[in-house]
Structure 1
Amino acid sequence: MALVTDTDSGLVAETNTKGKSYVLPFMLIVSLFFLWGMAHNLDSILIPHLRKACQLKNWQSTLIDTSVFMAYFLMAIPAGILLKKFGYKSSIIIGLSLFALGAFLFVPAANTLNYAVFLGALFIIGCGLATLETAANPYATVLGDPAGATTRINLAAAFNGLATIAGPYLGTLFILSGKEYSKEQLAAMATDERAHYLMGEAASVKMPYIVLGCVLIAVALLFKFSNLPEIKNTSKEPTTGGSFIGVLRHRHLLWAVIAQFFYVGAQVCVTSFFIRMARQGGHFDEKTAGTYLSWLYGGLFVTGRFAGTFLLKYVKSNILLSIYAVVAILLCLVAILGDGSYVIYALGGVGFFMSIMFPTIFALGVDGLGDDTKPGSSWIIMSIVGGAILPVIMGLIIDKNNDNVQSGYIIPLLCFVVILYFGLNGYKIKKQLITT
């Protein structure tokens, strides 16, 4: 047997000496990146849609984000335990099964028009996504020549980025109805007519999520009956890495955790209220707003990833991060103070300049950690809980300001200020903050 090794992680994939092809296993892994990208980007459609169908306040609609991202936070350690006990293939199948279960639960949620059931379904989806990401990211790095590990993970991430376009587009096409009534218009409706309208809005989510659930089951079966290579850990380093709490003595890591918390919060805030912003600030109808979320924001986000990757060859990562943060702050100001279609073009531009922030903050945060890299990485991943908290605060601000969606964009603006500080100063490797 020959071993294909990721020298950084110590993971290896067994293959025969004749050179077994990893094309099919890698294609299956790439499909996971796309599928969890679809789940996240459909949430941007669900937030305005379920707000309408379930008659929610803005902050209540953001509990969709809270359910998914809190599941990530709470599932981080259990997912690692599953991976250690059952291995990569079984963990992926478990993650797909949880994902599918959550998707199918959209049917009883819609039938009963029960928002709590929707949130429960989304929490289960989040648990499935956390499990998938825990297993699929390292798996993608070892399926082939070690020298191509970075290329493989970036290729897989590109398909995740494509879901930024596909998710909102399909959600707009099959979920959004384009019909919305004011509170006064709903109050003037007969009881049966109003109930029929709201149930019809809720029902539109059923078929897309049934199809998604069936696709997930089919992919799970492909993994079940595929002959995937075994993954083993041959690292001579201690499997626990450094101290989980003590790792925060690294000042630049602590700031990376803070910056990532605010970055994820900013991204989720921007997309969660994009459609409502397009309707209120840009004066677009619902369907057009969804199309702009897909092709303008999603397209610029994907373009930004490729452009940023190119620019990072010539510009220091912290400098590029700082420049992007400054531009994002200015674009948020345009979104807050402007009126008309250029408000939405500004938010689309924010997507472009956010595109490199997550991987750049991550890389700067773990730089120079040595044996503390593994626990340091865990802290940065757990900081995505910002996506569960900050959108709720944004929703409360909007509700406080008489449903003025533009006022809420002060939250992502402040997030980018924190990221700017990290790019200018927080990333620097300095003396340890605490001792263990």
Structure 2
Amino acid sequence: MFRKLGFLVLAACAFQVQAKVDATQAARLGQDLTPLGAERADNAAGSIPAWTGGVQPPAGYTPGMHHPDPFAADPVLYKVDQSNVSQYAALLPEGQRALLERYPDYYLRVFPSRRSASAPQRIYDATRANAVNAELIANGNGIKGAFAGIPFPIPQDGMEAIWNHVLHYKGDQTHFVNNQAVVINGRASFIKRDRHIFYVYNREGMDEQGLDNTLLYYKYRVTAPAKLSGTALVVQDPMDQVLSIRKAWRYSPDDRRVRRLPSLAYDSLQPDTSGLATADVVDSFNGAPDRYEWKLVGKREMLMPYNSYAVHQQGIAYGEIVGPRTLNPELLRYELHRVWIVEASLRKGFSHPYDKRRFYIDEDSWQILAVDLFDEDNELIGLQESHPISYYEVPMFASTLETLYHLEDGNYFVDGLDNNEQMYDFGARLSPRDFSPAALRRGGN
């Protein structure tokens, strides 16, 4: 089903040999492979269906709605809990097994598998061109010969696979309001943020010359609670973050000043997360890959969070979603899907709370769905999960909710709670000028 793949060789010349695929391989895209490189066919058991183009919006849906669940009538096939976790152990990330073994009232509801992921046709077309042109450069910290689409739809090593996640399509520009929660000793504290993102790599009309080593621009403003209201952040994110570091500025309403942050990458802590989240766990992983060695382990069928419309629906109280130890399992959906498994091991000379990470990447979208986190003693200490849906109006497949569980102390972090906010605006009128320190200062007045 897949070729045996060895360890990543970090020499630049090796990247150039491995990166491109020939025209014969690229011709498989849209044939036995989907346009983004997944296996189109069903699995041997029939428990994973063939990909047929994604999901269509349910009748009555209009943009601006919280996306109705097209699979609401699906039955629960079975539940995995503390009593039967050993039976399903081979299908679960280590971190998920740890949660099930620890909490007797936690469980996974497993539903029929629905391959709902899709992207615009222009992303498919760009992916086909990238397959024969894209190369890793600068020891894997940069890419040339690629724009808009997935750079390496037929990946040859772990670094290519992680770049596919970093660059998978998430729209052109977005304005949205959502909430994050820090759960410590079973008690949740919520922060509401008004956010804007302007994507450069994926946007319509982009070509390689127009990238100028820029991936995206991002900013947010805290609107609640009152003690943090007005605090703001702006980020300018380059493609190659070794060549040009990520730039970030923070505005404080107390003194009405904008200050450049010395670092907002790697293991630096995200502001306002009570130390529970490092900068590079946003969207499951982001930023430069240079501090890890990457291994493409292969592809496996696993139980993953998927089609998480139930937890996305409008009007659910955030306290009903965020429990004292985990998210409410009655609102979560898991399905059997094929995922690429990538292991990242911290290189000598660098420090990070996560000495090793094991990523589970959706074959259909390249969205990371789960991550096992290990410390320097190779002890499992954390689990990340992304709960994705299809945003019909774009279309794109991305997380609606992300969690990071700390397995040692039972605390956890949640981001993306939007049930009681206006739905995302994917047509927001934005430009790079809106993401400067001066714009941040003007917004604070």
In the superposition, the TM-score normalised over structure 1's length comes to 0.21
Which has a greater percent of strand? 2
Higher relative contact order (CA 8 A, sep 6+): 1
